[in-house]
Amino acid sequence: MYNSDTPLRAELPSSKKLLRSTVLAAISALVLLFAVVLPAEYGVDPTGLGRVLRMTDMGDIKQQLAAEAAADAAAYPSSAQAPAPAQPTAPKIEWRDETPFTLTPGEGTEIKLTMAAGAKAQYLWVVEGGEVNFDTHGDAPGKSISYEKGRAVSSDEGVLEAEFTGNHGWFWRNRGKSNVTVILRTRGDYTAIKK
């Protein structure tokens, strides 16, 4: 297909013109880098032109947001991490007891397992609609122990091993501004579960 005539050699730009165009393009790129890109993206303004064009303000805001995101990632590492690769499907755990309950703002409740010394109970609890403070502990006449405490937690799981014969379990308190539902699932070596 024939669209245009082949240009004559005299119509092509000379090496000198090509070199001049390349140098002008490089200078333009550097001017844009120092006057627009660095101030707008990083808040760096070596020429002062970024402040005149109000690009530096935009870059400062971006840097503040990046610093806040890094601080949040450090404070809450699990939310900042990339999702873990898919694991093979584990067999479904069959729980012996499932105890759901609702906590209004400021309300607390306690659930205990009656266990012999050295007995183990596997547990999993999740909070729907918010987070809770919790205290995992045990007590018996003349004995008490604190296993673990947490603030603003939405779930926990593990194995509770009784240090002594008595009652071992959890106390939850809703410090949020709306109702939450906690679902406790347990199985293992305990004789009773009571509120």
* Interior/surface letters 24-55, b for 16+ CB within 10 angstroms, e for the rest: eeeeeeeeeebbeebbbeebebeeeebeeeeb
pTM over 0.75: no
- The CATH code of the domain at 97-194 is 2.60.120.680
Do residues 132 and 195 touch, judged by C-beta distance below 8 A? no
Structure tokens at 41: 């993206």
- Residue 122: Cβ-neighbour burial (10 angstroms; 0-12, 13-18, 19+): middle
Show me where the domains of the chain are located: 14-80, 97-194
Q: What is the pLDDT of residue 77?
A: 56
- Residue in 25, 189, 187 with CA at minimum distance from that of residue 92: 187
- What does the pLDDT profile of the chain (195 residues) look like in tens digits? 566 777 777 778 888 888 998 999 999 988 888 888 888 788 888 888 777 877 777 777 777 777 777 776 676 655 444 455 555 555 677 999 999 999 999 999 999 999 999 999 999 999 999 999 999 999 999 999 999 999 999 999 999 999 999 999 999 999 999 999 999 999 999 999 998
Write out the H or E segment, with its range, that includes residue 193. strand 192-194
Quote the CA–CA distance of 175 and 180 in Å, as a whole number. 10
Return all residues near 94 (Cβ < 8 A) that are at least 6 apart.
187
Q: Which long-range contacts (CB under 8 A, 24 or more apart) does 74-79 make?
A: none
